[in-house]
Amino acid sequence: MFKRFRGSIMLLLAAVIWGTAFVAQSKGMDYVEPFTYNSVRTLIGGIALIPVNAVLSKSSSQNSGPNGKVSVIGGICCGIILFAASSFQQLGISLTTAGKAGFITALYVIIVPITGLFLGKRPHIKIWVCAAVAVAGFYLLCVKSSFIVSNGDVYVLISAFFYAFHIIAIDYFNARKADCILMSCIQFSLRES
């Protein structure tokens, strides 16, 4: 019971942090350019993960052998995808509202299983219903009376696809026993460069 409650609290905390980050990102655009903002925030994230990686690598032998190689390759691949995702998102946030950016980015939740179709995975019927509702929400939120979607909305939608590819890539490398912390350090390093 306690584990479920703790898990629910952690998910709620993650949602609050994720949701409020769009407002911070939008306000950050008042002071710096999108790529500068991304560089600074991912540099901080990468530096914060270095001691975590050091502590966990001492208590575990996951970094040796093929897992280390898979982790490095995974970190590089995921870092490139994450760089594209966050760059398009930050550029889009500078041209649209934080609320719209949050909703559009969240479309990756639907894009992942639909992309899975091309990888031979069949989504449940609930996914198709959710996809239809998400597309309707995107339409109501973003499309103006002239049926034009703003450039910022398009950039954020592109970022949602890259975030979906990022999730699929992480799943791929995790299935090959990659060290998640090492992979995160590498991808954050690539994302900020």
Among 38-52, 83-97, 107-121, the minimum mean pLDDT is found in 38-52
Looking at per-residue pLDDT, the higher value among 193 and 163 belongs to 163
Please choose, from the candidates 138, 134, 118, the residue with its C-alpha nearest in 3D space to the C-alpha of residue 126.
Answer: 134
CA-based max dimension of the chain: 59
User: Could you tell me the pTM of the whole model?
Assistant: 0.76
Sign of CA dihedral 29, 90, 140, 151: positive
157, pLDDT greater than 90: yes
Q: What is the distance between the alpha carbons of residues 183 and 185, in angstroms, rounded to a whole number?
A: 6
For 178, list phi and psi in degrees, rounded to 5.
Answer: -70, 150
171, two tokens: 């799943």
Listed in sequence order, the residues at least 6 apart from 52 whose beta carbon sits closer than 8 Å to its beta carbon are 181
Dihedral Cα 96, 101, 104, 107, nearest 10 deg? 160
pLDDT at 65: 45
- pLDDT band per the 50, 70, 90 thresholds, residue 66: very low
Please choose, from the candidates 187, 158, 193, 192, the residue with its C-alpha nearest in 3D space to the C-alpha of residue 77.
Answer: 187
Only one residue has tokens 């911070």, namely 24
Model confidence over 7-30: pLDDT tens digits? 888 888 887 887 777 777 777 778
- pLDDT band per the 50, 70, 90 thresholds, residue 69: confident
Rounded to 5°, angle at Cα 92 from 101 and 24: 60
Model confidence over 43-56: pLDDT tens digits? 887 788 778 777 77
Model confidence over 115-156: pLDDT tens digits? 888 888 888 888 888 888 887 887 787 766 666 778 999 999
Q: What is the distance between the alpha carbons of residues 58 and 117, in angstroms, rounded to a whole number?
A: 40
Please choose, from the candidates 165, 30, 150, 36, the residue with its C-alpha nearest in 3D space to the C-alpha of residue 92.
Answer: 150
